[in-house]
Structure 1
Amino acid sequence: MVEVDKSTVRPTTHAKVRILETADNLFYGEGVHTVGVDRIIAEAHVTKATFYKYFRSKDALIVAYVQGRDKSTRDFVLSLEGRFDTPERRLRAFVSSVSNDLMNSNFQGGAFINAAAQFTDPMHPVRIAVTDHREWFATELENMFRGMGHPRPGDAADDFTLARDGAVASAHLGDPIAANAALGRAVQRILDESTR
């Protein structure tokens, strides 16, 4: 058993969890700029002092929201490695998850794309958090395509990301069925390139 130095571990309190969960729901559902701190405080049932104890500003909370979404995605991709024995099966499982999201009646577009669209400065901490996520994701995709023997894994990762982002935007703008079908066709074309 590994011994943990408890003096360096800060437990997550229920209040912080409530703030993050409330922010996640509201930011994704309504947009990060339209939801104010006072509303998050009210819906999380915390005091203003408690909010500012954990988050020095709304922007700090938005960064935490993006990082939380990033962690969820990383955990999901890691779980695919344990459940599927080939890179192609992992990629298809990921596409299936995206397809389910696109067809969900509560789908509000891509959380990372939506957050980035509301912050134009590429050096803003929110944009940096989004960029970090997208760079990690591009590397994961490239590794999956390399593992499949794709002749150009970097290009395949770029093509996949473009197809996924396009499907997310198209589904959010009104036609999730067509977006989902187009995503499936695009992914199959990319996969077919690895068997030529």
Structure 2
Amino acid sequence: MPTPMPSQLAPRADKRAHLVDTALRLFATGGYHAVGIDRVLAEAGVAKKTLYAHFPSKNALIAEVLRERDRRFRASLAAFVDRQSAPLDRLAAVFAWHRQWFEEPGFAGCMFLNVAAEFHGEVAELQLLAREHKRAVETYLVGLLEPLTGAGEAPVLAADFNLLLDGAIGVALVSGDAEAAGRAWNMARRLLPAFAAPA
């Protein structure tokens, strides 16, 4: 059974969680500025009073949406990678997971790249959440790379691999070509021999 992708995980029951789930879906596909609070409330079926009981502003709701997106993204990715045992297969699985994500109906790119673009220089908390997510992905890549490259080289290569993944996300969004993930893996794989740990 395929690992659920971030948009496929089941909504939670309470009103606050339902509001975050609804906002996540709408912001992911429609953007942060284009999707207004009234639309979020209408689709969630909650009153404005309920929203402001939990979130003092739209930006506070966006921040919680990003935290939830980060949680789902990393949980889904880790579950997919953990199906593999060999170090190289685990690393390859990161790119395979991205390809599955790119093939999702309604794929609209990375919510963290998108929020950084829409709020560039405007809301420090949202910029920080975007940076923290990318840093967390890079740290995860370090752990996957260490058995292949050694601890000294893994951080350098993880930064390069994270760059390849972000590039693949952009290409897939613009072109609709899910194979961008496969091409990114081919490029990443060619980098490995230069960094491979000695036997």
Asked if these proteins are the same fold (TM beyond 0.5), I'd say yes
Whichever residue aligns with residue 155 of structure 1, its letter is V
Contact 1:160/1:190 (CA < 8 Å) preserved in 2? Answer: no
TM-score, length of structure 1 as denominator length: 0.84
CA–CA separation in structure 2 for the residues paired with 1:180 and 1:138: 16
1:161 maps to what in 2? 162
Whichever residue aligns with residue 40 of structure 1, its letter is V
CA–CA separation in structure 1 for the residues paired with 2:182 and 2:30: 27
CA–CA separation in structure 2 for the residues paired with 1:134 and 1:122: 19
Residues 156, 29 of structure 1: CA spacing in aligned structure 2 closer, same or farther, 3 A cutoff? same
Root-mean-square deviation (CA, aligned residues, Å) is 2.2
Moved more, 181-190 or 134-143: 181-190
Output one character per residue of 1:141-173: Cα deviation in whole Å (capped at 9) or x when no partner.
122211222562122111111111111101111
2:70 matched to 1:70?
yes
CA–CA separation in structure 2 for the residues paired with 1:105 and 1:56: 32
1:13, distance to aligned residue in structure 2 (A) = 5.8
**Runs of 4+ residues over 6 Å off in structure 1:** none
Whichever residue aligns with residue 49 of structure 1, its letter is K
2:42 matched to 1:46?
no
* CA radius of gyration, larger in: 1
Identity %: 28
What are structure 2's unaligned runs of at least 5 residues? Answer: 1-11
1:128, distance to aligned residue in structure 2 (A) = 0.9
CA–CA separation in structure 2 for the residues paired with 1:97 and 1:183: 12
CA–CA separation in structure 2 for the residues paired with 1:59 and 1:27: 12
1:139, distance to aligned residue in structure 2 (A) = 1.4
CA–CA separation in structure 2 for the residues paired with 1:104 and 1:73: 14
Contact 1:87/1:147 (CA < 8 Å) preserved in 2? Answer: yes
1:183 maps to what in 2? 184
Contact 1:23/1:65 (CA < 8 Å) preserved in 2? Answer: yes
Point out which structure has higher relative CO (alpha carbons under 8 A, 6+ apart): 2
Matched pairs, number: 185
1:92, distance to aligned residue in structure 2 (A) = 1.6
* Alignment of structure 1 residues 62-101 onto 2, 5 Å: 62-80=62-80, 82-101=82-101
Contact 1:122/1:128 (CA < 8 Å) preserved in 2? Answer: no
Contact 1:41/1:48 (CA < 8 Å) preserved in 2? Answer: yes
